[in-house]
């Protein structure tokens, strides 16, 4: 059978139908599980590093270090890496002859990045000034509750009775901690908890909005664009605030330990875990990665006790266990629901 040049070009240009997903060896999948676990632990260190930065040592009195300065340090150390990766991704797409996303699409990705990497961290960093690292991680861990609510109200996602029950169990654990736990003590716990819960709300919104943009732009390029736009906003906030107040030189005159902690937040709790989680997602899937996220509050408890000297009593253990169980149950139910309606 003979084919004309036009038919051959048409077949070459035709998209593949149902391409086979990449296969990984058991060893590669094993490394995927390890990367997911390590990424979850490294993410959990963010709260520890932030609390260490807020401690009244190294020439700073308690709470003198403000939120936007610490955020600027994090972004200042992080953004060169993401900028280089973004440049590399664009170059690769051009070499492969793939079209770049339109400017409007990139701006939408950047606006979503402002939610995930500017608004959320600001609320989180502010909350950590007022509450323990353990309580912050536990409250932030309940963001799937907001995913459930927002998804049902605005994104057409299904909601089930078991899903609602699992979220109730999770917040029952939070209530136990607030009623008699040792990690929820202090005058400003309600305000700090509100900050973190609002952060969890915006993080859930970010995840729901980011899904469709990631499908269009691609995970690596979306992250780089989102981080770049958010970093620009954070650094502009820092510069304008301090330039207006005439405190720019003072704001940059920080003890070396603060710069080291800012670098640690950028490297160990931003850059490295983002790569580890992305690789793990490709090898073992989103649901498996989500299950390893259960390690995050446990790791925070361990490091908060060892490095920060935070208390942890029996009621804290009970409340934490209920919250982890509730969120784990929700994740399992969500997995079954998606598999059923796929």
pLDDT in tens, 190-229: 999 999 999 999 999 998 898 788 878 888 888 899 999 9
Encode pLDDT of 78-110 as tens digits. 999 999 999 999 999 899 888 888 999 999 999
How distant, in Å, are the alpha carbons of 160, 197, 198, 323 from that of 143?
17, 8, 9, 11
Q: Give the pLDDT band of residue 340 (cuts 50, 70, 90).
A: low
Model pLDDT, residue 270: 92
Between CA 112 and CA 125 the distance in angstroms is 19
- Is residue 285 over pLDDT 90? no
If residue 177 lies in a helix (H) or strand (E), which one and from where to where? helix 161-180
Q: Say which residue, 18 or 34, is predicted with more confidence.
A: 34
The answer to whether 47 and 136 have CB atoms below 8 angstroms apart is yes
Instruction: Indicate left, alpha or beta for 246 from its phi (over 0: left) and psi (-120 to 50: alpha).
Output: left
- Is residue 18 over pLDDT 50? no
């Amino acid at each position: 059978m003979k084919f004309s040049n036009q038919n051959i070009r048409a077949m070459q240009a035709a998209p593949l139908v149902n391409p086979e997903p990449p296969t990984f060896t058991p060893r590669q999948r094993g490394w995927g599980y390890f990367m997911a676990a390590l990424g979850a632990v490294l993410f959990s260190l963010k709260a520890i590093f932030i609390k260490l930065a807020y401690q009244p040592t190294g020439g700073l009195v308690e709470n003198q270090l403000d939120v936007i300065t610490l955020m600027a340090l994090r972004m200042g150390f992080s953004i060169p890496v993401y900028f280089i990766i973004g440049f590399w991704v664009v170059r690769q797409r051009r070499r492969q002859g793939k079209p770049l996303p339109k400017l409007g699409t990139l701006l939408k990705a950047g606006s979503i990045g402002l939610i995930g990497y500017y608004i959320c961290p600001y609320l989180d960093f502010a909350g950590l000034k007022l509450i323990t690292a353990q309580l912050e991680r536990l409250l932030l861990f309940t963001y799937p509750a907001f995913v459930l609510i927002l998804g049902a109200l605005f994104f057409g996602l299904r909601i089930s009775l078991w899903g609602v029950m699992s979220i109730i169990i999770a917040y029952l654990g939070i209530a136990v901690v607030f009623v008699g736990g040792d990690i929820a003590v202090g005058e400003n716990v309600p305000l700090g908890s509100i900050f973190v819960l609002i952060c969890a709300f915006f993080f859930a919104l970010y995840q729901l909005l980011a899904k469709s943009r990631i499908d269009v732009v691609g995970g690596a390029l979306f992250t780089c664009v989102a981080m770049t736009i958010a970093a620009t906003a954070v650094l502009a906030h820092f510069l304008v605030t301090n330039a207006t107040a005439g405190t720019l030189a003072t704001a940059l005159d920080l003890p070396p330990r603060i710069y080291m902690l800012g670098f640690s937040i950028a490297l160990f709790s931003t850059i490295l875990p983002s790569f580890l989680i992305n690789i793990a997602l490709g090898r073992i899937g989103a649901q498996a990665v989500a299950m390893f996220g259960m390690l995050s509050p446990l790791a925070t408890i361990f490091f908060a006790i060892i490095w920060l000297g935070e208390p942890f009593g029996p009621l804290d253990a009970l409340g934490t266990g209920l919250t982890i169980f509730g969120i784990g149950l929700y994740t399992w139910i969500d997995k079954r629901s998606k598999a059923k309606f796929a």
